[in-house]
Each structure stands twice: as C-alpha cells, then as structure tokens.
Amino acid sequence: LSKEELSINTPVVITCNEQRREVSAAQNIANKQIDRTFVFDKVFGPKSKQQDVFNHAVVPLVGEVLDGYNCTIFAYGQTGTGKTYTMEGGGGKTQDGELPSDAGVIPRAVKRIFDILEAQSAEYSMKVSFLELYNEELTDLLAPDESKFSDDKSKKPMALMEDGKGGVFVRGLEEEVVSSASEIYKILERGSGKRKTAETLLNKQSSRSHSIFSITIHIKECTPEGEEMIKCGKLNLVDLAGSENISRSGARDGRAREAGEINKSLLTLGRVINTLVEHSGHIPYRR
C-alpha cells in the first residue's frame, strides 16, 4: 500500500503465497466474506525487488534475444498497479554506471545486453525505438520536436505496415543507433518524459495508452566454416494501457462514451493471448 493508503487505514485485501504461486483477494459483499484465489506461473510477493523480477522473468529472454529471437514482455494491470514502475523504474538516478535499486526492466535489460556483448567482444550494432499507441494512433516518442509551440508535428500519427516477411514495422519511426547503455538511459528518459508531458496536456493519457520500447540487435558471427553471418534479435518491452479501460461486452448505454475508454487494442490482445493459450484455431491478430 502507498503511504496515503496506509494513513487512511486502507484494509489489505490481497495476499500472496509465493510458494504455492497463489494470490488471494478478500471480498466482503453484503456482509458475506468471499475470498477468491488465483494460481499463476509465478508470484512475486510484496517484498520482491526489481532485481528479483528481472532475474526471474527477463534474464532468460535477454539470452534468447542475443541468440537471434524476437521476444516481447508486457506489463498488464489496472492504472496504479505498478506497470510503469516495473518497466521503467522508480526514478532513481544512475550513478557511475551503476543502476539504482529501483531501476526497472528496461534499463536492466539494456545493461545486461551491453555487458554480455562487451564481455564477448562481439561485433554488433544496436538501435532502439520508443513509441506510444493511443486511441489506435501511433506516436513516436523519440521524434525530434520540430516546433516547441505546436504539439501536432512531433506527435503526428504514423502508419503500421507489413514487411512481407511476416513482421510489421512503423513507417517513419525514429530508430536511434546506440553504442552504450548510458545513451539508452538518456533516450528512455527523453521518451518517457514526453509521455508524461502529454499526460498533463491530455488528461490521463498514459493510463489509456500503450508504450513500446524496442531494442534491435545485429550481431556478426562467424560459422565454423568461416562464413560471416548476421544474427538479428529484437526485444519489445511493452507498458500496456490500464486494464480498467477494457470492457468485454463493449456494450454500454448512451453514446457519450469517452474516447479511448474502451481500448480496442487491449481487448484484442487479450483475445489473441487467450486463443494462443487455448490452441483454439483461428487467432484474431488482425482485429
């Protein structure tokens, strides 16, 4: 609970059992105590540190990315549940190249990638992009500000295209070539700063938008036969919109539904993941 919540004696309704991988929610409805328990693949209790989450959930994926695979990590949950804290961190400053203990998944993944590549004296190139999806419109969080006074240029919507190889890309998206971890921390700060500015301009935008930080790595390798080969891996780190914005039925009375209140892409993502988990035929990627 936050300090504020503690000061007004907010009751604790969530309990975690890390061993049994369970989370229980206590509910009191009409004086009836109804507890519900959910089982997960892994539960991080309230004492968990950023480092624990990173080591367990992210380190294996960083290895796969360096082996040339594409991996995506999503933070999902209601607004205020700690998605941005988990992905970006608590705002602590990097000192002498050491990350603060509250650093999130993104800076930790970046540091680990560079540490591994440096240790291998690998020949590589790396680029990053940072974009936001709000109301089905894409915004480049790394685009240079063309004008300080007009917000619409740097936030012009971009088109999502297929690359013909089974992948997608965003036309005109700024991809910055980076050669050190500290460069990426600066870029991350710039991008998330932009997200926050937009938030004050456009009430609560960040709770309704997804942000996607992508790291693309090309590594040069030599096969045993002495042939040169380029391995390409990509890591997508996604801070999803608040899950309070999805409505399964989509049916609501009245026409005055606020823009973005029903987040189509989040709803579709849920459906896609469900069909993938259930192995049930058609996967609605294109909805």
* Contact indicator for 49, 103 with CB cutoff of 8 Å: no
Q: From ligand ADP, Mg ion, none, which one binds at residue 94 (CB under 5 to 8 Å depending on kind)?
A: none
Asked if residue 85 binds ligand ADP (CB under 6 A), the reply is yes
Asked if residue 216 binds Mg ion (CB under 5 A), the reply is no
Instruction: Give the number of residues in contact with ligand ADP, rule: CB under 6 A.
Output: 10
What is the C-alpha separation between 169 and 160, in angstroms, rounded? 6
78 is in an annotated binding site: yes
In the complex, residue closest to ligand ADP by CB? 82
Asked if residue 245 binds Mg ion (CB under 5 A), the reply is no
Asked if residue 211 binds Mg ion (CB under 5 A), the reply is no
82 is in an annotated binding site: yes
Instruction: Give the number of residues in contact with Mg ion, rule: CB under 5 A.
Output: 2
Closest to 213 (Cα-Cα) out of 180, 245, 173: 173
DSSP assignment letter at 208:
H
Least distance (Å) between residue 85 CB and ligand ADP: 3
- Which of 58, 61, 73, 84 is in the footprint of Mg ion by CB under 5 A? 84
Asked if residue 79 binds ligand ADP (CB under 6 A), the reply is yes
- Which of 60, 80, 97, 284 is in the footprint of ligand ADP by CB under 6 A? 80
Least distance (Å) between residue 167 CB and ligand ADP: 28
* Contact indicator for 84, 31 with CB cutoff of 8 Å: no
DSSP of 134-166: ETTEEEETTS--S-SS-HHHHT--B-EEE-SSS
83 is in an annotated binding site: yes
Distances (CA, A) of 64 to 43, 107, 127, 214: 23, 17, 17, 15
Least distance (Å) between residue 209 CB and ligand ADP: 11
Asked if residue 169 binds ligand ADP (CB under 6 A), the reply is no
Asked if residue 82 binds ligand ADP (CB under 6 A), the reply is yes
How, if at all, do strands 32-39 and 22-29 pair? antiparallel
84 is in an annotated binding site: yes
Q: Which stretch binds ligand ADP (CB under 6 A): 8-16, 78-86, 260-268, 275-283?
A: 78-86
**What are the structure tokens assigned to 241, written together?**
């919109």
Phi-psi region of 282 (alpha: psi -120 to 50; beta: other; left: phi over 0): beta
Our CB check for ligand ADP shows the closer of 16 and 158 to be 16
Asked if residue 263 binds Mg ion (CB under 5 A), the reply is no
81 is in an annotated binding site: yes
Q: From Mg ion, ligand ADP, none, which one binds at residue 80 (CB under 5 to 8 Å depending on kind)?
A: ligand ADP
Which phi and psi angles does 98 have, rounded to 5°? Answer: -95, 135
Residues 133-168 as b or e (16 or more Cβ within 10 Å = b): bbeeebbbbbbeeeeeeeeeebbeebeeeeeeeeee
**What are the structure tokens assigned to 51, written together?**
């480092």
Residues that bind ligand ADP (CB under 6 A): 77, 79-85, 90, 207
Q: Which residues are annotated as a binding site for ATP?
A: 77-84
Residues that bind Mg ion (CB under 5 A): 83-84
Q: Which residues are annotated as a binding site?
A: 77-84
